[in-house]
Structure 1
Amino acid sequence: MIITSQLHDIPTPTGLMRTKVYKPEEQGIYPAIIFYSEIFQLTAPIQRTAAIMAGHGFVVLVPEVFHELNPIGTVLGYDDAGKDKGNADKWAKPLEHHDSDTQALVDFVASQSYCSGKMGAMGVCIGGHLAYRAALNENILAASCLYATDIHSDTLPCEKGNDSFTRTKDIKAELQMIWGKQDPHVPDEGRMKIHLNLIASGNSFTWHEFNAQHAFMRDEGDRYDPALALRVYAMAVELFHRSLN
């Protein structure tokens, strides 16, 4: 399926949020996926992932997750400087602002004639957390959360009691939780804490652990596992075709 892409600056309560929208070129009405990036924002690997998902018949929206903390169009490097800036942004932006970003994206999708109105969320690293968080929005029907950081540790700023771990019981969407066993950011005890909480909260979810490191989907760097990445893409595509079509 041939795809096209376009930039949109979407208004939010905390400022304009640049969002790259990928969609099939062929005219039609398609379900939408919000794809939340790592701390580095719209890097080349993130854009390639978005293109892969769009090529399976989805409108894929990739927002700048820290739009209010950087000039529009900021992309951080996969180096120490980029990591330090991205982590500082992560700890500076409250979850409530991510929630209002998600609602702005939901409203944008509702206004587009090529969108069916059915929506999912997907993300990697902090983006996996944000996809999990987006599932609190009643318009999100399914979320694929890849090695989601900071859920178990409650390290992202928010109002008391509004952290994602505590709010798990309020998620109605189907969750697909994907982890690397060798991921130091979410160790065994952290994954177990999340797993037990999902069971106790009665969520609809699937749970997948692989022998892989953090960021094993990123097609740059020595942690990339291309065979596993293909498998995970297929799992995500299956989830969204089933839940959004």
Structure 2
Amino acid sequence: MPTKTVQIPTTDGLADGFAVLPEHGGRHPGVLMYGDAFGDRPTLRELARELAGHGYYVLVPNFFYRNGPAPVVDLPAHIGEEDRLPLIGRLMPLIEAHTAERVLRDADSYIEFLTAQPEVTAGPLAVTGYCIGGLLATRTAAAHPGRVAALAAFHAPVAADGPDSLRRLTAEVHFGHAATDITPEALDELNRSLDAARVGYTSEIYPGTVHGFTMSDTDAFDPAGLRYHWDRLLPLLARTLPNG
């Protein structure tokens, strides 16, 4: 898949990122993909390429751009459990500084950039995200009800802003939870909030998975969980996006 480095103008500067699009030219539905906190690396680009191969223009911004270009911390080729805690310790101040207000300002810029690309079909977009990126995707979808038709988030703290935030959603939703991230009782509470939003949704625990199960360069990776993620994500996009 063709991949290009991009610079996205925002109110606070330029956000670096990358875009992936199908090889056969033409215009394609747009998908804004938020990666996990570890950011741009071969595993994340592999996910974006796989999605683009199904006919989508995928934009992946570095949401920590205020702290420098991605990756903002040095990453090993494989992120083992012995690496995760020190890396998260270095990233946590960046996560805490990335307030909801910053997220929404940046989301406006990312959507404007994505919709302005000549290879992107006019009409609604989809937003996806992994880990902390799933929360950013959820905030983005809630803030842009007229522009985001589909929201998917995986092993993500999607309820971090409370149940009222989910009631602003109008997109069709899929939340794929790691078994270690949420209890059945908390899942029931989350799904009641989605019921109250009156949106179409699936929100479920992927059996046997741990946090980060989609990321093949970590000890958390679960091949069956990743396959199930595609089984849920691709039909969602096909139902909701023009020419999807």
Q: Verify the 8 A CA contact 1:132 1:175 in the aligned structure 2.
A: no
Question: 1:201 corresponds to which residue?
Answer: 197
**Post-superposition offset of 1:201:** 2.7
1:197-236 alignment to 2 at 5 Å? 197-211=193-207, 212-236=209-233
In angstroms, what is the RMSD of aligned CA positions? 1.7
- 2:17 counterpart residue number: 19
Q: Indicate if the aligned counterparts of 2:36 and 2:133 stay in contact, CA closer than 8 A.
A: yes
Are 2:47 and 1:49 equivalent residues in the alignment? yes
Distance in 1 between the 2:203 and 2:184 partners? 14
Number of paired residues?
230
Do structure 1's residue 88 and structure 2's residue 69 form an aligned pair?
Answer: no
Instruction: Please show how residues 114-193 of structure 1 align to structure 2 within 5 Å.
Output: 114-117=119-122, 118-136=124-142, 137=144, 138-149=146-157, 151-152=158-159, 154=160, 163=161, 165-183=163-181, 186-193=182-189
Q: What is the deviation of 1:235?
A: 1.8
Q: Matched residues in 2 for 1:175 and 1:144: separation?
A: 6
Which deviates the most, 70-79 or 198-207?
Answer: 70-79
Hey, what's the Cα distance between the residues in 2 that align with 1:99 and 1:164?
A: 16
Cα distance, 1:116 vs. partner?
A: 0.3
TM-score normalised according to structure 1 size: 0.87
1:203 aligns to what SS in structure 2?
Answer: coil
Residues 18/164 of structure 1: CA separation in 2 closer, same or farther (3 Å cut): farther
1:24 counterpart SS class: coil
1:8 alignment counterpart: 6
CA distance in 2, matches of 1:187, 1:41: 27
Unaligned ranges ≥5, structure 2? none
Percent of paired sites with the same residue:
25
**Stretches of structure 1 lacking an aligned partner (at least 5 in a row):** 155-162
Q: Evaluate the alpha carbon distance shift between residue 73 and residue 207 of structure 1 in structure 2; reply closer, same or farther with a 3 A threshold.
A: closer
Counterpart code for 1:234: D
4+ runs deviating over 4 angstroms: none
- How many angstroms apart in 2 are the aligned matches of 1:192 and 1:86? 31
Q: Look up the match of 2:104.
A: 99
Check 1:165–1:17 CA distance in 2 against 1; reply closer, same or farther (3 A cut): farther
1:59 counterpart = 2:64: no
Given residue 201 of structure 1, which amino acid in structure 2 is its aligned partner? A
Per the alignment, residue 157 of structure 1 pairs with: none
Q: Does 1:243 align with 2:226?
A: no
In the alignment, the residues of structure 2 paired with residue 51 and residue 61 of structure 1 have an alpha-carbon distance, to the nearest angstrom, of: 11
Alpha-carbon distance in structure 1 between the residues aligned to 2:231 and 2:72 = 27
Amino acid at match of 1:124: Y
Q: What whole-Å deviation, never above 9, does each CA across 1:117-164 have from its counterpart, x for those lacking one?
A: 331011111111111111121211101111212x43x4xxxxxxxx46
Q: Is 1:113–2:111 an aligned residue pair?
A: no
Give the drift of 1:208. 2.3
Tell me the amino acid that sits aligned with residue 178 of structure 2: G
Give the superposition deviation at 1:75: 4.0
What's the secondary structure of 2:167's corresponding residue?
helix
For the 8 Å contact 1:181–1:188, the answer to whether it is kept is no
TM-score normalized by the length of structure 2: 0.88
Deviation of 1:23 (Å): 0.4
